[in-house]
């Protein structure tokens, strides 16, 4: 059969036969309809200000195009909320106060983006999260029915009239929100004595608050009394009724918030207060209260809460631009959110309003450092330093030593240490009252100016006058932080300044072990001095400042002990270095670097067994970190699951649960006694970490719980396969816990794949371990290979190798892996499904088993089929072709899988990687086939040189020898030809089709492919003799007919007629095409009889139960395809009557 024609670049039609090994698919064309906005509706351009916001004064919030948000009061309809600010009078009174506007969502801010500088930018970043306050308390209002919005209640005409009176021009096409310009009080066409808005008698600002109705007062009073009497339910109902009557009254919203707060429902309290705040948009105290409440209930989702705090702060800033405290707080929140750009802009604006404010300068410097824009921070400080140094010292009280330290730090980021030393000394001199003592700038070789005493060095300077300035203005007056920085910068300039740097560091007095030692107040300076000395490779000097820090709990962390170990190793203090590494390993169970360094240390000493132990621990930690975690339910692990499921069983059948982690990998249950960093207790002597781990493992009762969970897994299996959601979720959680325990055992995942599973012995554990490479892990894996090679491989009796884990056979474990992946694929979780299958394929218990690997990869492409993942299907097909090289069925599998998903126009079937891979397979066969004895010697040498580098044999026998090809595979040649054919390379495809033709001259697929290649090539613009090519193609088509018509199967003879008819149609010979399609339809009766015969065979096989009931139950029939083609031909030629007859008979079900 021949499918529909497709078109190449020259618009010549070509098609692919349906019976091809891997034909192209017909692309599915999806109609995309663009629906423009109705001409009668004008879209409103929203300002980027965050919503919800109160309405602009004198505007209708329900104008067309305004976004609709869900209110935090679902029982109070949005129609009753008035879009007015604090105290805005309604446009109409009584029952007609209803408007199409939600007070909660708001329409416009009291200040537009033009009124407030950078107002739009201030709101940006928080508008996405503010609506959640309106949704969190929804269930609290479900008891009061909504009131339907009445369109007749809109007061748009009255509002427009009011705005026209106020002197604001309104575009009739754009409506209320399309104001062109505002007429000010000094407009030419209006009297000069009008109000601020231009309207007679109307003043700028909020109008007087409306007098609440008597009913509102009564309800609010009763609600307050109920609240005082702690009758919260009645108080809630009453205050909601009050809000329905006068929703613009903040007191009602505030009371509702207090009621919820008294009940402990902070989310609902916040939603109520947040909604009520918009009734007083210009009351900063309300917004401060909202912000405070948000911060109090931030919880785990602090990031989202901070975005809402930004919104509240922005509203306060809109009210009062000079509220600098709030602006500083907003900038700090930006910093915490990671929005350093916005924070920097905020601090820049603060500096414009508060020039040279040191608080803003310091925060701006910190922000610019995080943004890696140190030069900007330095330029701001340069301006302020110029300003402060121009003042008297008594007037420059805001500029302190902290600012000098910050400014000097800039030069370390800029690597300009000489200038840093110059500026540090100059500014320090100014703050100490020696601004004019600039002669010291000429002395750059040392820092004698800052010696403690005048003698011996400072007195040697000719211009030094000891009586001109007090002694405290020299070395004694320099703060310790700046002195240490001066020493660090000296070290950065080179080792020639070593003595000068050590002279500065000596002020820390590292030998002082008293209670009042500088160590406890300036521990960070000790660390900085030690780091600088270590970086300068002055390891012994660095230890002088590192070792005292061991007495400080604040600074005795893993980084310190790693640095001490590095210095001791460089100084060849092996015992001290070992103790430091062991201390880190003992107190930080997740530190990979310490274990890697310790293993390298032991390897250097020749202690191979100890080195391998820590290499294995590092590998295990690295593999654990790279393992993706399933977050299906919080704490979804074996212990919690066992407790959960056992709690639902009768008490007498429930099993005791253990209190420790399930395995060494389960770190979720780590107790608080295992700190992430190292506390002050690190100074204690190191104990063997193996004893601690052994004690932890002795507490595990893993097998008991694993067996119980596996039984629950089997119990839930039938319900899960039936599609029950709860059972599926529980089944997935149990399977995840089981597989995580399996994958946490490093014995199953050796470092080198050639290692086979040898059991659970200590020797096997010592040889196991696997990781996913990272920077440090590459070195660890290489070290592990060296260590294993030096130990050799012991002989192990195969009978002693277990075939189960936790009393569950490995075959059952494999079933869990595969079914877990299939279920995840059914839910669309491709990453977890593929990772599970990858772990199963890497496990040593199945990696060396061909049947198991075959089962894993069969499941893999099944998952890819469910996920419609063409790329994975292509990769898995390649695995089969490499693992079972030169096996015809693998090439057929690749062709079949290529049909199932993907766009045929950009399918991976005819992509460059697939083409190159198939070509390598053909070259591999060509290279391994025996030489032709009749071929000349020179030709044989050329053949060997062409194929030797590119031919690879991937399948090996039991002895490990590659298996060569026995003969050329016709299916492979035809498959590669179809790959070229699908890419419209018909001439190249013919080369491989003719090779297949030479091997199988009577193969109808080969004949059909050659005939179609000639005909398609004739229709291309590049063809030089169309008539010749068409005749060549038709001659092979006739050969195809001759071979196919010998078949006794009617559907194969029908296929010939259909394919010929398609060829005639493609060539424009419609009269021949119609006859071919009609002959195709004539076979329908014969094929129907064949179908009935097969149906009876199936019924008989089912009754007998011989296992053949699923064989030959489908019969191919091209009648409908032929009928559809005839329908199209008749319709295009105007024969609608014949087309209808064909449709009624063949195409109606």
- pLDDT tens for each residue of 927-950: 777 665 555 555 555 555 554 545
Torsion of CA 816, 818, 824, 825, to 10 degrees: -170
Highest mean pLDDT out of 142-146, 147-151, 736-740: 736-740
pLDDT tens string 235-290: 999 999 999 999 888 899 989 999 998 998 888 888 888 888 888 888 999 999 88
In Å, what is the CA distance from 845 to each residue of 336, 743, 754, 781, 832?
A: 49, 12, 11, 21, 21
For residue 278, the model assigns a pLDDT of 87
pLDDT tops 90 at residue 19: no
Q: Which of the two residues, 44 and 1021, has the higher pLDDT score?
A: 1021
Band of pLDDT at residue 157, cut at 50, 70 and 90: very low
User: What Å distances lie between residue 958 and 752, 954, 966, CA to CA?
Assistant: 20, 13, 18
Mean pLDDT, to the nearest integer, of 560-564? 95
Residues 6+ positions from 34 with CB-CB distance below 8 Å: none
Separation of CA 205 from chain center: 48
331 Cβ neighbours under 8 A, 6+ residues apart: 343, 346, 347, 350, 363
Contact between 922 and 973 (Cβ < 8 Å): yes
Tell me the per-residue pLDDT of 403-432, one tens digit each, with 9 for 90 and over.
999 999 999 999 999 999 999 999 999 999
> Is it the case that residue 8 has pLDDT exceeding 90?
no
User: Which residues on adjacent β-strands are paired with residue 168?
Assistant: 182
CA 1095/CA 1114 separation, integer angstroms: 9
Go through 554-580 and write b for each residue having 16 or more CB atoms within 10 A of its CB, e for each that does not.
Answer: ebbbbebbbbbbbbbbbeebeebbbbb
> Is the per-residue pLDDT at 696 higher than 50?
no
Q: What percent of the chain is modeled with pLDDT above 90?
A: 43
Give residue-wise pLDDT tens across range 894-938.
888 887 776 666 677 778 888 888 888 888 888 777 665 555 555
Helix (H) or strand (E) holding 608: helix 608-626
Give the dihedral sign, CA 72/76/81/86: negative
**C-alpha distances in Å from residue 417, one per residue of 411, 488, 525:** 6, 9, 18
What is the β-pairing status of strands 13-14 and 168-170?
unpaired
Query: Which pLDDT score is estimated for 208?
Result: 62
Q: Answer whether 918's CB lies under 8 Å from 979's CB.
A: yes
Q: Give dist(CA 76, CA 104) in Å, integer.
A: 11
Q: Specify the pLDDT at position 1090.
A: 84
End-to-end C-alpha distance for the chain, whole angstroms: 22
For the chain, the average pLDDT equals 75
Secondary structure (DSSP) of 686-750 = P--HHHHHHHHHHT--HHHHHHHHHHHHHHHHHHHHTT-HHHHHHHHHHHHHHHHHHHT-GGGS-
Among 584, 522, 578, 520, CA closest to 553:
520
What are the structural domains, with CATH classification, of the chain? 78-321 (1.25.40.10), 398-589 (1.25.40), 604-658+701-794+801-867 (no CATH), 1052-1149 (no CATH)
Where does residue 146 rank: exposed (0-12), middle (13-18), buried (19+ CB within 10 A)? Answer: middle
Render pLDDT for 1068-1094 as a digit per residue (tens, 0 to 9): 999 999 999 999 999 998 888 888 888
Q: At residue 131, does pLDDT exceed 60?
A: no
The CA distance from 712 to 648, in Å, is 12
φ/ψ of 370, rounded to 5, equals: -65, -30
- Does residue 1095 have a pLDDT over 70? yes
Percent of the chain with pLDDT over 70: 67
Maximum mean pLDDT: which of 92-96, 190-194, 626-630, 963-967:
963-967
Q: How confident is the model at residue 124 (pLDDT cuts 50, 70, 90)?
A: very low
- Asked whether the predicted pLDDT for residue 772 surpasses 90, the reply is no
Q: How many helices (H) and strands (E) does the chain have?
A: 46, 6
pLDDT of residue 885: 86
Question: In the prediction, which pLDDT does 476 show?
Answer: 93
> Which residues pair with residue 170 across a beta bridge?
179
Res 201 pLDDT > 70: no
Q: Please give the pLDDT value at position 401.
A: 96
| Distance from C-alpha of 797 to C-alpha of 815, rounded to nearest angstrom | 27
Check pLDDT > 50 for residue 402. Answer: yes
Cβ contact 122:296 at 8 Å: no
Count of residues in the chain: 1149
Residue 120 has pLDDT above 80, yes or no: no
pTM: 0.50
The pLDDT assigned to 611 comes to 87
At 14, give phi and psi (nearest 5°): -145, 155
Q: Which of 995, 1028, 1027, 1026 is nearest to 1010 (CA)?
A: 995
**Cβ 446 vs Cβ 457: under 8 Å:** yes
Write down the pLDDT at residue 1007: 96
Query: With 50 as the cut, is the pLDDT of residue 590 above it?
Result: yes
Phi and psi at residue 169, to the nearest 5°: -75, 135
Buried (b) or exposed (e) across 632-662, using 16+ Cβ within 10 A? eeeebbbbbbbeebbeeeeeeeeeebbebbb
Q: In the predicted model, what is the mean pLDDT of residues 861-867?
A: 92
**Euclidean distance between CA atoms 271 and 265, whole angstroms:** 10
pLDDT exceeds cutoff 90 at 26: no
Position 194 scores a pLDDT of: 40
């Amino acid at each position: 059969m021949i499918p529909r024609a497709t078109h190449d670049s020259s618009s010549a039609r070509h098609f692919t036969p349906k019976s091809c090994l891997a034909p192209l698919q017909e692309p599915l064309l999806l109609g995309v309809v663009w629906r423009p906005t109705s001409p009668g509706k004008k879209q409103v351009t929203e300002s980027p200000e965050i919503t919800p916001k109160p309405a602009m004064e004198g505007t209708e919030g329900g104008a067309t195009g305004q976004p609709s948000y869900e209110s935090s009061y679902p029982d109070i309809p949005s129609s009753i909320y008035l879009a007015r600010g604090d105290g805005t009078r309604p446009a109409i009174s009584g029952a007609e106060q209803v408007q199409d506007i939600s007070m909660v969502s708001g329409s416009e801010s009291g200040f537009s983006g033009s009124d407030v500088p950078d107002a739009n930018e201030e709101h940006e970043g928080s508008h996405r999260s503010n609506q959640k306050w309106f949704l969190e308390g929804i269930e609290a209002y479900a008891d009061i029915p909504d009131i339907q919005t009445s369109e007749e209640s809109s007061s748009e005409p009255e509002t427009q009239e009011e705005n026209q009176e106020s002197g604001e021009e309104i575009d009739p096409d754009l409506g209320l929100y399309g104001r062109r310009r505002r007429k000010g009080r000094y407009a030419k066409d209006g009297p000069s004595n009008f109000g601020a808005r231009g309207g007679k008698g109307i003043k700028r600002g909020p109008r007087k608050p409306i007098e609440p109705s008597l009913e509102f007062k009564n309800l609010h009073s009763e609600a307050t009394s109920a609240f005082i009497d702690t009758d919260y339910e009645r108080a809630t109902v009453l205050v909601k009724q009050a809000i329905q009557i006068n929703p613009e009254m903040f007191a009602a919203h505030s009371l509702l918030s207090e009621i919820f707060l008294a009940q402990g429902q902070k989310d609902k309290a916040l939603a109520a207060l947040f909604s009520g705040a918009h009734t007083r948009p210009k009351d900063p105290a309300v917004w401060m209260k909202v912000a405070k409440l948000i911060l109090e209930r931030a919880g785990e989702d602090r990031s989202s809460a901070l975005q809402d705090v930004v919104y509240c702060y922005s509203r306060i800033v809109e009210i009062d631009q000079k509220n600098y405290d709030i602006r500083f707080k907003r900038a700090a929140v930006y910093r915490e959110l990671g929005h350093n750009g916005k924070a920097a802009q905020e601090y820049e604006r603060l500096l414009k309003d508060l020039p040279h404010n040191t608080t803003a300068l310091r925060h701006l410097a910190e922000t610019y450092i995080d943004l890696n824009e140190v030069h900007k921070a330095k330029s701001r400080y340069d301006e302020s330093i110029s300003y402060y140094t121009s003042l008297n010292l008594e007037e420059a009280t805001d500029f302190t030593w902290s600012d000098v330290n910050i400014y000097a730090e800039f030069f370390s980021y800029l690597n300009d240490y000489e200038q840093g030393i110059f500026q540090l000394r100059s500014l320090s001199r100014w703050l100490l009252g020696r601004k004019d003592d600039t002669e010291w700038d000429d002395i750059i070789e040392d820092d004698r100016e800052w010696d403690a005493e005048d003698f011996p060095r400072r007195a040697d300077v000719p211009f030094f006058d000891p009586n001109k300035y007090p002694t405290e203005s020299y070395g004694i007056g320099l703060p310790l932080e700046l002195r240490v920085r001066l020493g660090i910068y000296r070290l950065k300039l080179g080792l020639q300044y070593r003595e000068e740097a050590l002279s500065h560091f000596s002020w820390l007095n590292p030998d002082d072990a008293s209670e009042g030692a500088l160590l406890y107040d300036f521990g960070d300076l000790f660390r900085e001095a030690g780091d600088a000395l270590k970086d300068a490779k002055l390891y012994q000097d660095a230890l002088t400042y590192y070792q005292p820090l061991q007495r400080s709990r604040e600074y005795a962390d893993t980084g310190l002990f790693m640095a001490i170990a590095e210095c001791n190793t460089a100084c060849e203090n092996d015992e001290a270095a070992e103790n430091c590494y062991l201390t880190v390993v003992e107190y930080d169970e997740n530190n990979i670097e310490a274990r890697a360094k310790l293993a390298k240390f032991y390897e250097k000493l020749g202690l191979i067994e100890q080195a391998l132990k820590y290499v294995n621990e590092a590998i295990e930690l690295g593999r654990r970190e790279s393992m993706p975690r399933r977050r299906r339910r919080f704490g979804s692990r074996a212990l919690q699951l066992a407790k959960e499921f056992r709690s639902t069983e009768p008490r007498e059948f429930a099993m005791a649960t253990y209190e420790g982690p399930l395995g060494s990998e389960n770190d979720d249950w780590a107790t608080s006694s295992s700190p992430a960093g190292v506390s002050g207790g690190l100074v204690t002597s190191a104990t063997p970490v193996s004893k601690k781990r052994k004690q932890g493992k002795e507490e595990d009762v893993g097998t008991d719980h694993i067996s119980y969970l596996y039984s629950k897994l089997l119990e839930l299996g039938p319900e899960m396969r039936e599609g029950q959601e709860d059972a599926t979720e529980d089944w997935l959680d149990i399977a995840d816990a089981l597989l995580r325990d399996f994958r946490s055992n490093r014995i199953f995942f050796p470092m080198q794949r050639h290692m086979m599973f040898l059991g659970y012995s200590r020797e096997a554990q010592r040889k196991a371990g696997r990781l996913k490479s990272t920077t440090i892990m590459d070195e660890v894996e290489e070290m592990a290979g060296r260590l294993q090679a030096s130990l050799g491989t012991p002989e192990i009796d195969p009978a002693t190798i277990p075939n189960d884990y936790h009393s569950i056979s490995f075959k059952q474990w494999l079933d869990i892996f595969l079914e877990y992946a299939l279920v995840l694929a059914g839910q669309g979780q491709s990453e977890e499904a593929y990772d599970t299958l990858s772990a199963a394929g890497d496990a040593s218990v199945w990696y060396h088993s061909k049947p198991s690997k075959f089962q894993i990869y069969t499941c893999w492409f099944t998952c890819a089929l469910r996920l419609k993942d063409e790329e994975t299907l292509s990769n898995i097909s390649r695995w089969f072709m490499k693992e079972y090289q030169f096996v015809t069925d693998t090439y057929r599998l690749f062709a079949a899988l290529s049909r199932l998903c993907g766009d045929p126009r950009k399918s991976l079937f005819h992509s460059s990687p697939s083409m190159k891979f198939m070509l390598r397979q053909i070259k591999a066969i060509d290279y391994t086939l025996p030489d032709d004895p009749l071929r000349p010697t020179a030709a044989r040498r050329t053949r060997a040189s062409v194929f030797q580098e590119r031919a690879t044999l991937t399948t090996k026998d039991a002895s490990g020898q590659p298996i060569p090809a026995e003969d050329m595979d016709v299916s492979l040649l035809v498959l590669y030809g179809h790959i070229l054919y699908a890419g419209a390379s018909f001439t190249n495809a013919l080369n491989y089709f003719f090779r297949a033709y030479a091997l199988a001259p009577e193969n109808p697929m080969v004949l059909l492919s050659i005939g179609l290649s000639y005909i398609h090539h004739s229709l291309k613009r590049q063809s030089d003799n169309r008539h010749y090519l068409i005749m060549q193609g038709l001659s092979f088509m006739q050969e195809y007919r001759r071979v196919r018509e010998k078949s006794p199967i009617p559907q194969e003879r029908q296929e010939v007629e259909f394919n010929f008819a398609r060829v005639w149609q493609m060539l424009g010979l419609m009269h021949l095409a119609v006859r071919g399609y009609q002959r195709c339809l004539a076979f329908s009766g014969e094929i129907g009889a064949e179908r009935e015969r097969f149906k009876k065979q199936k019924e008989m096989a089912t009754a007998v139960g011989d296992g053949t009931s699923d064989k030959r139950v489908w019969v191919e029939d091209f009648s409908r395809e032929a009928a559809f083609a005839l329908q199209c031909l008749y319709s295009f030629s105007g024969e609608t009557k014949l087309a209808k007859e064909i449709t009624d008979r063949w195409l109606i079900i």
